Amino acid sequence: MEPFKFTRANDQHSAISSMGGNGVKVIAGGTNLIDLMKLDIEKPSQLVDINNLKLQTIETLPNGGMRIGALVKNSDLAYHPDVITKYLVLSEALLSGASPQLRNMATVGGNLLQRTRCPYFYNEGFPCNKKNPGSGCSAIDGYNRNNAILGTSAQCIATHPSDMCVAMAALGAVIHVQGIKGTRAIPFNEFHLLPGNTPHRENTLRQDELIIAVELPPISYAGRSHYLKVRDRSSYEFALASAAVALNFDNGRIKEARVAFGGIGTKPWRAILAEKVLTGAIASEQTYRTAAEAALSEAKSYKHNAFKIELAKRTLVRALTTVGGMS
């Protein structure tokens, strides 16, 4: 770990003022950043502790949605009674991630910014375009069992690791940020970036911007939802494939659908094609399978992860069956 300067911000203005320089990182729970610093993947010249900022509240909005402060702990959000009632898929996603100890420290804002767990990203002995742009992607021709099959490029096939983000992608959350030039509201699907030719650029957050809150829109049927995570072991493991789904029914047909995948995309993957198939259809195994086929129609597999295509399809069918049953 490289030497660094440590400061503590007591308000948003002082935090944002400190963030303009190169090499400055903010820290809250530190559950991902500290690991990366220990491995010399992240080498900040300064850490700004933001735990004193007043960003720990969860509030219901006048329109029925929710606003979640960036410093809310994952455990507190997962067990919040309104989240369990109104956005069950989010609670389930949070509780499927990491361990109780990590969830007690990790924050919502940090979860949005966590980086891939691709083994080549973590190993300094291998080229990785996320760490060293232009050096190459070792995963493409290497052992890529856990890597992505959606949103990949010739420069990177690293999988996005978050469970929380999959649920928020399905829910159509909005990320609120504040910077020197003012505030921005970023639709969730526009926050994380596909790797393309610049895999080291993972999101649209600017150097001087701080995540202050996440807003969940009012979705009357989001209580009828589910997060299904398939992994090699039942706890403390990242997804091989996961699905977040919510369904709204009207006269026996699916009126509205929200679907997102985890474990298979280079970003939290909103499955718009699956949603289009489901909308207006009768709940049945054939409908769910057709939706799954559409969702994975653009998947590209590699030597060791071709199994993920069928696994993701079955994961989605099972999640949809759990929520909507079959006619």
Q: How far is Cα 93 from Cα 88, in angstroms, rounded to an integer?
A: 9
Torsion of CA 234, 238, 239, 244, to 10 degrees: 90
CA 120/CA 126 separation, integer angstroms: 6
* Three-class secondary structure of residue 308 per DSSP: helix
Query: How far is residue 12 from each of residues 18, 24, 149, 187, 215, measured CA to CA in Å?
Result: 10, 15, 39, 22, 18
Return the CATH number of the domain spanning residue range 58-113+162-216: 3.30.465.10
pLDDT tens sequence for the chain (327 residues): 899 999 999 999 999 999 988 899 999 999 999 999 999 999 999 999 999 999 999 999 999 999 999 999 999 999 999 999 999 999 999 999 999 999 999 999 999 999 999 999 999 999 999 999 999 999 999 999 999 999 999 999 999 999 999 999 999 999 999 999 999 999 999 999 999 999 999 999 999 999 999 999 999 999 999 999 999 999 999 999 999 999 999 998 999 999 999 999 999 999 999 999 999 999 999 999 999 999 999 999 999 999 999 999 999 999 999 999 987
Per domain, the residue ranges of the chain are 1-52, 58-113+162-216, 225-324
Could you identify the residue written with the tokens 């690791």?
161
**CA-wise closest residue to 107 among 152, 159, 162:** 162
**What is 1-52's CATH number, 3.80.30.20, 3.40.50.1110, 1.10.3720.10, 3.30.43.10?**
3.30.43.10
Give the Cα separation of 90 and 84 in Å (integer).
8
- Do 58-113+162-216 and 225-324 show the same overall fold? no
- The pLDDT score that the predictor gives to residue 148 is 99
| CB-CB neighbours of 304 under 10 Å | 14
Q: Which residue from 15, 55, 47 is spatially nearest to 212, judged by alpha carbons?
A: 55
Find out whether 161 and 113 touch, Cβ atoms under 8 Å.
no
CA–CA separation, 11 vs 32, rounded Å? 23
**CATH code assigned to 225-324:** 3.30.390.50
In degrees, to the nearest 5, what angle opens at C-alpha 253 toward C-alphas 188 and 84? Answer: 45
Where do runs of H (alpha helix) occur along the chain? 12-18, 33-38, 74-78, 81-86, 88-95, 100-103, 108-113, 119-122, 138-141, 164-171, 188-191, 272-278, 285-295, 307-324
